[in-house]
Each structure stands twice: as C-alpha cells, then as structure tokens.
Amino acid sequence: MAVLALWLAVILGSTAVFAQAPDAAANPGRARLDTIRTELTQVETSLATPSTTDAELQRQRLRLQPSLEQLRLLVEEQGPRVDQARLRLDQLGPKPDAAAPAESAEVAREREARTKAFSDADETMKIARAAMLQAEQLQTAISDKRRELFAKTLFAPGPSLLSPDAWGSALSTLPEDLRASGYIFGGWLSVVAEAFFGARGFLVALALIGAGLLYIARFRYMPRFKARVGTTQDSGSLHCLYIALAHLVAGAAPPALASWLIYSALNTAGLLPPRIQPVVGAVVAGLAIFAFVQALADALFAPGNAQRRLVSVMDSTARIVVWIASSLALVMSIGKVMEAWLQAIAAGLAVSILVRGILAIVFALTLIAGLYQLRDDDEVEEEACLGPYVPVDGASLGPVRILGWIVGIVVVLAALSGYVVFASFLTEQVLWIGVLVSLFVLVYQLVDLGLMQALTGKGRLALTLKAGIGIRATTLQKIAVVATGALKLILIVVMGMLALAPWGLESGDLASSLRAAFFGFQLGGVTISLSSIIVSGLLFALGLTATRSLQGWLENKFLPTTELDTGLRNSITTAAGYVGHIAAVALAVSSLGLSLERLTLVASALSVGIGFGLQSVVSNFVSGLILLWERPIRVGDQVVVGDAEGIVKKINVRSTEIATFDRSSVIVPNSNLISGVVRNRVRNDRTGRVLISISVPRVYDPTEVRAMLSETASAHGDVLQKPPPTVLFKKLGTATMDFDLICIVAEVDVVARVTSDLNYVIHKRLVEMEPAAVGAELTVKGLEGIEQSLGSIAEAVSREISQRKTPKSKITVRGPAASINDEEPDAAPPEKPAPAEEPDKIPFKDDNKE
C-alpha cells in the first residue's frame, strides 16, 4: 500500500507539473513577478523592525531598486500583450445570448482559449502594477524613515556646555583619556622611530623630503609664478579666468600632493595601526582642505590685484573674505583631527561633547568676527559725510553677511543649549556651501565665457566647425547660446544636489524621480512619460518636415507642369498641408498611447470651453476650408473688400492676405470673405474693362470724335480687337457733348496703364482737332437804362471838375462801365465818354457741362 501511494503521488505531481508548464510558457512574466513579490515582502518585513539603522535602510533601498526596475520593464512588456489579447477576443464578437442560436463548437473553443489568454495577460498586468505601486511605496517609506532618523540624530539634545555636571564628568575622565593618548600615540611614535632606520624608514624619509620640496615650491616659487601669469587689464576676460584657475591649482595642488605622499608612505610601510590611521587621515585631509579653501578664496577675490578679481569687491573686503575662509577651514580641520583623536582613544562622552561644542563656538565666533570686520566705523563715518549711501562694494555680499550673522548666532546658542550635533552640522554646512558657491562662480563664468568664445570667436574649434562642417556663424552662435544655457542649467542642478546631500537628499532620490518622469507614470490609464513625449515630439516634427517637403514639391516641381491656374494650385498645396498636419498630429497622439475613446472624452469635456473661447478661430478655419473648396476667390485674384482693393496673395487657416496697390498688406478674416460682400474682378476670366469718359464742346463733330476714339483704342497693342472698342454718345448738353470709350484688355492688371496711355493720346488728338472759333457767345439784354444813368452821372461829374481850378480827382468813363481813380494830382484832362454801343456781345467759352 505504501508503494502504491508513492506511485500515485508521483503521478499526480507529474500531472500538476505538466499542467503548469504550458501556463508558464504562455505567460513567462508570471514567474518573474512571483520572485519580485517575494523580494518585496522580505523588504517590507525588514522595514517593520523598529530599531533599523541608516545603514540597514540604505541596504534595503539598494535591494529594492532592481526589483522596481524589473517591474517597470514587466509592465511595459505586458501592456502590448494585453492589447493584443483584447483585440483577438473582440474579433469573435460578443457571446450570443441564451435565446440566440448557439455558436459552433470550434468558435466556442476559440473563444474560450482567447478569453483565457486575455484573462491571464490582464491578471498579470494588474498584479505587476500593484507590485510596482508596492515597490514605490516601500521606496518612499525608506526615504521617510531615513529623513526621520536623520532628524532625530541631528536634533538629539545633549548636555549643555553650561552644565556643571558635564564639566565634572569630563574632568573625571580626563586623566584616563590623557593616559590613553600617551599610550597609543607614544607607542606609535616609538614604532615609527624604530622603523625609520630601515627600508620602511627610507620610504617615509623620501616621502617627507618630497613633501618638503613641494611646500618649499609652494611658498617660494609659486608666488613668482603667480606674479608672472597674474597680469591682466581686463577683469572680465577669459584670460582672467585662466589666471584664477592657475592660482587655484598652484595653491592647492602642492599641499594636497605632499599630504598624500606622507600618508601613502606610512600606509605602504605598515606604520599606520587601525587606531592611528583615522587620525593621520584626518590630518592629511585637514591640510588638503585648508590649502584648497585658501587657494580657492585667493583665486576668486585676489587680494591686492583688482584686475583679475572675479567678484566685484574692494581690496579691504577681499582680504577679509580670504581671512575668513582660511580661518574657518583651519578651525574645521582642527575639529576633524580632534574628533578622530577622541575616537581613537575612546574618550568619554562628556569630553567628546565638550570638545565638539567648543570647536563649534570657536568656528561661529571666527565667522562673526570676520563679518564684523567687513564694515568698520571709519567707512561708515566717511559715507555719512558724503551723503546718501550708494552701494559700490559688492551689494550682493549684504545678504551673505546677514545670513552669516544668523548662522553664527544659531550655532553659538545651539552649542550652549546642548544641541552640539546640530551646531557641528551647521558649521560643516557653512564651509561646504561656501566652497560650493565659490566653485559654482568659477565654473559658471568659465562656461559662460569659455564656451561662447570657443564657438563664436576665432579659435580653432570655431574655424573647424565653420570651414570643415559648413556651419554658418549665426547658426554657430545659436548653438553656443543653447549649449551654454544647457550647461548652466546642469551646473545649477548639480550644485543644488550637492548642497542638499548632507541634509538627507541623495542623488538616488532625484535619479529615481527623474527616471519615473522619463520612463512614465500612470495617469487615468495612460502612461505619461518624458520619453514618450520626446518621441511624440520627434514624430510630429518628422511629420511636419515631410508635409513641408511634399508642399514644396507640389508647389515648385509638380503643379507648375500642369495647366492648372494659380488659385487651384494653391488650394491643392494648402489641402495637402492640412492632411499632412492632421496625419502628423494623429501619429504623435498614437505614440503617446491615447486612443480615440480617450480623445473623445477629453474633447467632450473641453467642448464647452472650446465653443466659447475658440468660436471665432473655428469659424475662420471652417471659412478657410470653404474658400479652398468652393474657390469664390483664389490666389492671384484682384478683389475689392470694403475700402481695400488688391491681389490675393495667400489663403491661410485663419485669414487671407491681400496685397494692395500701395504695397501694403490687408489681413482679412476668412469668415468676412464668406459672410460679407466681396467683388472679384477676375472671377470668370482675367480680361479687364477700360472705361474712359470725356466731354467736348459742341463745336466738335461727333462723328470725328467717335472715329478718333475708336482709332486711338484700336491702335493700342494691349486692347483686344474682339470685341472691338465701343464709343457711346452719352449726353448732348447745352455747351458740351459726353462720350464713353469702352474697350477690353487681356489682363486686368494692365487696365490702369492702358487707361493712362489712352488718355495721353486722346488729349493730343483733341488739341489737334480744335476748331478756329471754339468760344460760345453770351448776349445780355436790358442794359439800356443803366447805360443812360451812367451817362448822366458822368456829365455831372465832368461839369463839377471843370468848375474847380485845381482838380484833385480824375473820373474816367469808358464804354458802358466807368472806373474812378481818386487822389491823382497829375491826372490828364478828362476824356469824353465813349458813345453807347449796341447791346454787348461778349464771347464766352464753356468747356464744362451745363
């Protein structure tokens, strides 16, 4: 029975294994998903432990990152499988109802298989998304716990520096700490002294000699080198930046290299025990940090050499800033060495706290003293005598000084209150951020000036790009501006990350956020990612490029070979552009994973806003489509729209451009052309009508005028003979006759010129045809009584004048009219009045209409 039961178990197990094999083959991602879920469960269990250290949290974070990457990859792979399984199932249509005829057995089996495939793929996708959400939540929980642990450690209260108990405990353990120091360091020095005369000692001696030579070179020869390369007249030039870099390297490299030589020699010779190694490392690092900070401050502020100074401050301010930076670096280096020493001798907690607190207070007092020296009383009194304050000494240092005072006071208060860890952390951050800002200023100016000059100047790189590749100077300048901006942005991001790194923000956090933004996150069933947006943008740009190329080929190559008119060619080109733009948008949207259903939902949600906000735009767009389809006006037509008349140059999506004859452009919305009144002079053909109206006196022979007008029009080369020119006798007036000359030209564009030419010729012919007497006579009757009255007045005046001995006036009467000239002392004797004539006949010529 036992053997039979064993065989039965083997058979059943084999059956189960063979039954699970096809499932694993059909859905290979399920096995990976089960493994990842197990890993996530273990990480979640370890996070539930209350006493988790920062190192353990960091280890769990590194363990979680590969699982999260695999989940993202699995979701990306499983998405197309779910879509394919859904499409295959949809091809079979809905399952028939119970009342409907049953489907065939083959279709039922196919439906069952496809339904199972879709269910498995969809289930795997759901589990993968849930696992990815779990992994992201675990990652967030790890970051939160690390920040919480960091805050607890940073703001953990300790014994105050003013506490007598702390000083008492430190004094009680001080003798033991001193004995431990003497034992450890005395023993180490004896070992070094014994090994000094051997081979190991020879290596250490060489290192000491090399370090001494480097220090001699730094203090004796580097000043000469600085003086030789540090002469420049342009404080904002690229050469000034090169000098600053040379000063930085010359000031920081020798001490750092000397310290490294000594440490490497001692370590190689085996003269660094485990307890002594951190102390020597702290000494070496302190010397390198002090030299680097001092060289960096000298490179930026250049005390005593304002020509190469990168920061606009006075000489006194520059010297004080360099002193502050060097002093703070020295205090920080001494503090790190003291901490390593106390850790090596396993000093008491009270001693460690007191030493760290005292060093933090010394650091803060040094900072405050330096900030206080930036502005002395003499300068304040001089400015008060000169009137209102005008900032000339680096106004940007004002906020820095205020912030420095605040930090210094906070450090002192925190150290005295017992928050020594927080005070020490602030001191480290002051020096760290100061170094970062200084490096940022140096590298920022180097990128700004160096890259721009390299790409836009007369350097080898710019000449190679222009001559070898063929890039124009303007294009190269644009590339330089874009590259400089991108590098500046990267530099700002890197500096921000480095500044926030000690506060618990690691590069992995930002990298994971950037990775999630780049590779996508789920929003409403749609994966939104920077990569998909970039790909979509590239596809849209590719579609636009192809559309422009097609339009150019149609406009310049293909359509000119056809017999189509200009307007129809423009309609075809514009329609091709519309189709290309729609295809490009559809391609870009499809690459984002947006289906037609989702676009319909979005469009329905935005339809109200679009209806009100874009009503005029949509109306003009539809009107433009109607113009291209019905073609009531075409490109090249001469139209009259309101007060504007000109040639249609382009029919755009929203408006139509009309070029008037005074060389101005009129932009008319397409809706105005559809709903308004438009006069198209070339709607059916391009022939133009010339109309000239003239008025001639009645003395002309109408037949001769008609013949002259017909001959003049027929003789012009641009006037069509079919139909022939026509002369109409429009009006017969009292003094003039009106004629209209009507003729047709082949092109409407020449109507104005033909009209001008005909007017010149008609005027010349009329002058040649002018009769001998062209004036008309005007007879005025009824003037006899006026004539007799004037005669009587003239006789009376004559008698009065003759009676005077000295005439003072002369009255002259001529004809029917008289002119009186007063005050003429030397006047001639009066003339006799002219005899009365018959009623006057005055010639009168009227060339105008009555």
Question: How much is the pLDDT for 183?
Answer: 81
Higher pLDDT, 600 or 671: 671
Mean pLDDT of 247-264: 84
Q: Report whether 567 contacts 631 (CB < 8 A).
A: yes
pLDDT band at 808 (very low <50, low <70, confident <90, very high): very low
pLDDT band at 609 (very low <50, low <70, confident <90, very high): low
Q: What is the pLDDT of residues 690-728, one digit of tens each?
A: 999 999 998 888 999 999 999 999 999 899 988 899 999
Q: What is the pLDDT of residues 419-429, one digit of tens each?
A: 888 898 889 88
Provide the β-strand partners of residue 30: none
pLDDT band at 6 (very low <50, low <70, confident <90, very high): very low
Higher pLDDT, 240 or 405: 405
Amino acid residing at 588: A
pLDDT at residue 774 greater than cutoff 50 = no
Q: How far, in Å, CA of 74 to CA of 532, rounded?
A: 17
pLDDT at residue 11 greater than cutoff 70 = no
Question: How much is the pLDDT for 518?
Answer: 52
Question: How much is the pLDDT for 726?
Answer: 93
Q: Of 131-140, 442-451, 655-664, 802-811, which range is least confident?
A: 802-811
Mean pLDDT of 797-806: 71
Helix (H, G, I), strand (E, B) or coil at 656: strand
pLDDT at residue 525 greater than cutoff 50 = yes
Q: Report whether 101 contacts 161 (CB < 8 A).
A: no
Q: Report whether 298 contacts 250 (CB < 8 A).
A: no
pLDDT at residue 381 greater than cutoff 80 = no
Instruction: Tell me which DSSP letter residue 778 carries.
Output: E
pLDDT at residue 646 greater than cutoff 50 = yes
pLDDT at residue 220 greater than cutoff 60 = yes
Question: How much is the pLDDT for 509?
Answer: 56
Q: How far, in Å, CA of 620 to CA of 296, rounded?
A: 63
Q: Which residues contact 807 (CB under 8 A, 6 or more apart)?
A: 801, 827
Mean pLDDT of 137-159: 81
Q: Position of tokens 């096809």?
A: 22
Q: Report whether 97 contacts 26 (CB < 8 A).
A: no
pLDDT band at 779 (very low <50, low <70, confident <90, very high): low
Closest CA to 255 of 225, 302, 201, 210: 210
pLDDT band at 103 (very low <50, low <70, confident <90, very high): confident
Mean pLDDT of 826-848: 44
Higher pLDDT, 70 or 828: 70
Closest CA to 436 of 296, 255, 638: 296
pLDDT at residue 470 greater than cutoff 90 = no
Mean pLDDT of 261-287: 84
Question: How much is the pLDDT for 769?
Answer: 85
* Token representation of residue 126: 């759901």
Question: How much is the pLDDT for 52?
Answer: 75
Q: Report whether 67 contacts 40 (CB < 8 A).
A: yes
Q: Report whether 508 contacts 497 (CB < 8 A).
A: no
Range ranked top by mean pLDDT from 511-515, 530-534, 679-683, 703-707: 703-707
Question: How much is the pLDDT for 836?
Answer: 44
Question: How much is the pLDDT for 839?
Answer: 42
Question: How much is the pLDDT for 682?
Answer: 79
How much is the pTM? 0.58
Half-sphere exposure of residue 122: CA atoms within 13 angstroms, side-chain side: 12
pLDDT over 90, % of the chain:
9
pLDDT at residue 569 greater than cutoff 50 = yes
Q: Position of tokens 């319909």?
A: 600
pLDDT at residue 23 greater than cutoff 60 = no
pLDDT band at 850 (very low <50, low <70, confident <90, very high): very low
Quick one: which H or E segment has residue 129? helix 105-154
Q: What is the pLDDT of residues 163-204, one digit of tens each?
A: 888 888 888 888 887 888 888 887 787 777 777 676 777 777
Q: What is the pLDDT of residues 457-469, one digit of tens each?
A: 666 777 777 766 7
Mean pLDDT of 209-229: 72
Question: How much is the pLDDT for 5?
Answer: 43
Higher pLDDT, 265 or 753: 753
Question: How much is the pLDDT for 515?
Answer: 56
Q: What is the pLDDT of residues 53-102, one digit of tens each?
A: 877 888 888 888 888 888 888 887 887 888 888 888 888 888 877 777 77
pLDDT at residue 224 greater than cutoff 70 = no
Range ranked top by mean pLDDT from 233-247, 563-577, 588-602: 563-577
Q: How far, in Å, CA of 659 to CA of 666, rounded?
A: 6
Provide the β-strand partners of residue 659: 647, 665
Question: How much is the pLDDT for 841?
Answer: 42
What does the angle CA 540 – CA 544 – CA 545 come to, to the nearest 5 degrees? 115
Q: Of 110-114, 190-194, 195-199, 669-673, which range is least confident?
A: 195-199
Higher pLDDT, 52 or 119: 119
Q: Report whether 261 contacts 207 (CB < 8 A).
A: yes
pLDDT over 70, % of the chain:
77
